[in-house]
Amino acid sequence: MSSAGGIALTRRNVFTQSWPIMLANAAAPIVGLVDTFVIGRYSSTTALAGIGLGAVIYGIAYWGFGFLRMSTAGLAAQSDGARDEGGVQAHLIRAVPLGLTIGLLIFLTQLPLLAGAFQIFTGTPEVESSAAIYIGARLWGLPATLASIALMGWFVGIGRSGLALKMQIVLNVVNILLSPLFVIHFGWGLWGVGIASAIAEWCGLAAGLWLAYTAIKARGGFKPEALSKKALLNPEALKKLGITNSNIFIRTMCLTIGFSFFGNAAAAQGVIFLAGYHILMQFITMVALVLDAFAHTAEAVTGAAYGAKNRKRFDKAIRLTTEFSVIFAFLIAATIYFGGPHFIALLTKDPAVIESALRYLPYCALAPIAGFTAWQLDGIFIGTTNTVQMRNAAIAAVAIYIAAHYVLTPRLGKDGIWIAFLMYYIARAVTLAFYFPNIRKKMDLSDGH
């Protein structure tokens, strides 16, 4: 039986658990990258800008409900560390239907939600029209997307990160096959890339559910106590889930506000800057998700240590995962700086967009260095479900970022937009670090091995 709590904490095992998450996380934004590539090469600059604006709005749903992954990972890891197999399974059975339900509710209320979104996120009428087409198609897959987020969190929490990677492989293979077919062969444009992504999300969820079934069988089969109404509707467990989810939701919405604020600031600078911003954001998204692999591993191993009440294991987990995070932050920064021009040329043929993206590429390259501490601390707080502190830190960080934007942008122009965004990463790290010394005191763990 493979579990986060059962592995020996060595550099080799930490990396063995992290690299599938790294690839799975890196594969997640490939859906948007493929959409950008297909439209950038076979459609107009307005359509490309429309995907940029559409991705910002769609991201509110995707990232806003990231608590489904985070709470499931932390709670499953703690049950796994405590050797509570019934609890491990119950967390999965609660989380996946919750994701499906939230996604369906958003899909059914999309018209007023989109109308409200375009009151906040501005663009030219042509760009907004393009964004609406793209979002409308992608929303067909949102229930599967949110259920898959919860499922991936469960895989990470029980130390089966390779299964999360397999889910992403299925999703991306389907999307890579369908997007060019729908756009180039059938001529469906923005709707084509959006609906291809939606179909791929459902295929990924189907694969993930099968993988979860096989994982449960390998761990000894379904436990009657996990499937009972008493377990699934346990008041204490539901209260903990509700509090954890609500705090992480507020925290995630603060982060979403921050990233959406950045996207809205870019949209206000015109189509060329917005299109270039969208290309650079593909790099930053990839950076975040690659470095988040070590944060996800920290979620699993610190959560398991919390459940097992093992202080030494907790400290070692932090040290080992952070070592890898630092190394990869600098490696990725160098890759973006030196390799970025080649990737930008692949994603668009428009000379003005290329020039704009190259102009601000150095800021993009600094993102992993500015952000790795925030991601690692996120993983520790999620694994130990110290969600109140995460919520408070997120509120403070987004306030600092918005204030920095309004101070720097009038003086530095478009450079100020990017500098303030990098300061946002630093603010996230500083506000979380303020609470970190209290975690070990609050945990009250023993010094077992």
Q: Which of 4-8, 171-175, 315-319, 389-393 has the lowest mean pLDDT?
A: 4-8
pLDDT category of residue 449 using cuts at 50, 70 and 90 = very low
Is residue 252 assigned to a domain? yes
pLDDT of residue 391: 94
Is residue 3 assigned to a domain? no
- Regarding predicted confidence, which is higher, 124 or 181? 181
- Regarding predicted confidence, which is higher, 12 or 335? 335
Percent of the chain with pLDDT over 90: 32
pLDDT at 446 over 50: no
Reported for 358-364, long-range contacts at CB under 8 A and 24+ positions apart, including other chains, are 359/276, 360/276, 360/277, 360/280, 360/414, 360/415, 360/418, 361/280, 361/336, 361/337, 362/337, 363/415, 363/418, 363/419, 363/421, 363/422, 364/280, 364/283, 364/284, 364/336, 364/340, 364/418
Average pLDDT over residues 23-37: 72
pLDDT of residue 365: 94
Average pLDDT over residues 86-110: 89
Range of the structural domain that residue 140 is part of? 11-443
Q: Which of 9-13, 262-266, 405-409 has the lowest mean pLDDT?
A: 9-13
CA dihedral 56, 57, 58, 62 (to 10 degrees): 80
40-89: per-residue pLDDT in tens? 766 667 777 777 777 778 877 777 788 888 889 888 888 888 787 887 88
Is residue 93 assigned to a domain? yes
Q: Mean pLDDT over all residues of the chain?
A: 84
pLDDT of residue 74: 86
Is residue 355 assigned to a domain? yes
Is residue 18 assigned to a domain? yes
Q: Rounded to whole angstroms, how far apart are CA atoms 52 and 239?
A: 38
Domain count, the chain: 1
Q: Which of 125-139, 316-330, 351-365, 384-398 has the lowest mean pLDDT?
A: 125-139
pLDDT of residue 227: 64
Is residue 61 assigned to a domain? yes
